[in-house]
Amino acid sequence: MPYDQAVSDIPVGRSARRIPILIDCDTGIDDSLALLYAVASPECELVAVTCSAGNVDARQVAENTRAILELVGRSDVEVAIGRETPLARALVTTPETHGPRGIGYAELPPARMPLSARFSSDLIVEEARRRPGELTLVTLAPLTNVALAVLREPELPRLLRRLVIMGGSYRSPGNTAPTTEWNVSVDPEAAKLVFEAWAPIGSAVAGSDVAGPVAFARPIALGLDVTERAKFLPEHLAALAARAGCAPDGSIAGGAASDMPGVNPVVRYLADALRFYMEFHSRYDHFYGAFIHDPLALATALDQTLVRTEAVTVDVELSGRLTTGETVADWRRVWGRPPNLDVAIEVEVARFMARFIERVGDLAAGLAG
């Protein structure tokens, strides 16, 4: 499908109910793209954003998150910070992947909007209690905040509509160690705690195949198995820029927007952030482009038909010599334990990419001038 073709196949009329979304992120280049996608999506009610340490330290995450929201005129969204270290380990960040400040080569004005007075995990619990069964929590970061939230409120799985996780690697190699994915490997204790908290005690709702009185849906987990199929390439950036009404000659595809006066501010941000991310992938993954893990998870939270999932029991390795942080999936059910995750195994990448380009391109176009 050509990138400039309209693909708004989710009708969202004025009266349609929007999907209330809470995002937990460690912004991060691909996290920032997920935030843009959320703001650009008419069916998304962005309830709040909680910040986790991960790609950069938690204070820088909160700075980046607010700066991005301000860039697109959403300083009304509550942004909270929480614990600044993983549950049981020292924080490791990844400047080589996302740049020293987490947004590649991009420069954004310092954030002006205030940080929430609420602690991230308190915010998650309070919002879930305020709207029981309504909120979808999308995690794009280590699971530290969610683990603390479920420790405070063990009913959290029942209070949320669904948990959608970007994290783990279930049938694919890792991206941090040979078998581990970044978000889980930064705070494996938190991931284990969350996966166990959502282990079914029994359920009669879709997304769980265990009979019993307790109803909550299994989390959807998008691991590298599917997120590494979402490769954002220079041609995608050129298509998005064209949709936003700039660089009709495709010159933006090189990614260097900061020296092009008059470029749309969202396109400028994307070009400068993605140039860094694409250089990283070219060094480590041997293609000039970028995996956009986090926007795919966010898009899936809004439209689950983008992926096909399989229910599986997953545990997290905490004491391996080579494998700490590995998400061990019991595909053959040798443990005899009920599945606790719906792991994404197939994804409609072209549909997702076209939708990303259309929506974020239109968001940028609407903010021009």
Q: Coil, strand or helix: which one is 232?
A: strand
**Options 32, 41, 55, 116; binder of ligand BDR; rule CB under 6 A:** 55
List the helix and strand counts (H, then E) for the chain: 13, 12
Strand intervals (E) in the chain: 19-25, 44-51, 78-81, 136-139, 162-166, 220-222, 231-232, 290-291, 307-312, 314-316, 327-329, 341-347
Q: What track of x and - describes contact with ligand BDR for positions 178 through 217 (by CB under 6 A)? A: ---xxx----------------------------------
Least distance to Ca ion, CB of residue 276, Å: 15
Using CA atoms, how far residue 199 sits from 183, 217, 248, in Å, is 20, 10, 51
Contact region with Ca ion (CB under 5 A), list: 98-106, 134-142, 172-180, 257-265: 134-142
Least distance to Ca ion, CB of residue 183, Å: 6
Angle between helices 234-243 and 265-284 (to 10 degrees): 170
Q: What track of x and - describes contact with Ca ion for positions 17 through 56 (by CB under 5 A)? A: ---------x-x--x-------------------------
Pairing of strands 136-139, 231-232: unpaired
| Cα Rg of the chain (Å, integer) | 19
Contact region with Ca ion (CB under 5 A), list: 7-15, 290-298, 305-313, 359-367: 290-298
Q: Which residue number is nearest to ligand BDR in terms of Cβ?
A: 182
Burial of 6 (0-12, 13-18, 19+ CB in 10 A): exposed
175 binds, among Ca ion, ligand BDR, none (CB under 5 to 8 A by kind): ligand BDR
Half-sphere exposure of 262 (CA within 13 A, CB side): 3
Q: Is 300 in the site for ligand BDR (CB under 6 A)?
A: no
CB nearer Ca ion, residue 36 or residue 253: 36
CB nearer ligand BDR, residue 123 or residue 290: 290
Q: How far apart are CA 148 and CA 265, in angstroms?
A: 36
- Contact at 8 Å (CB) between 271 and 257? yes
- Which residues lie near Ca ion (CB under 5 A)? 26, 28, 31, 140-141, 294
**Residues making contact with ligand BDR (CB under 6 A):** 28, 30-31, 55, 94, 97, 140, 166, 175, 181-183, 293-294
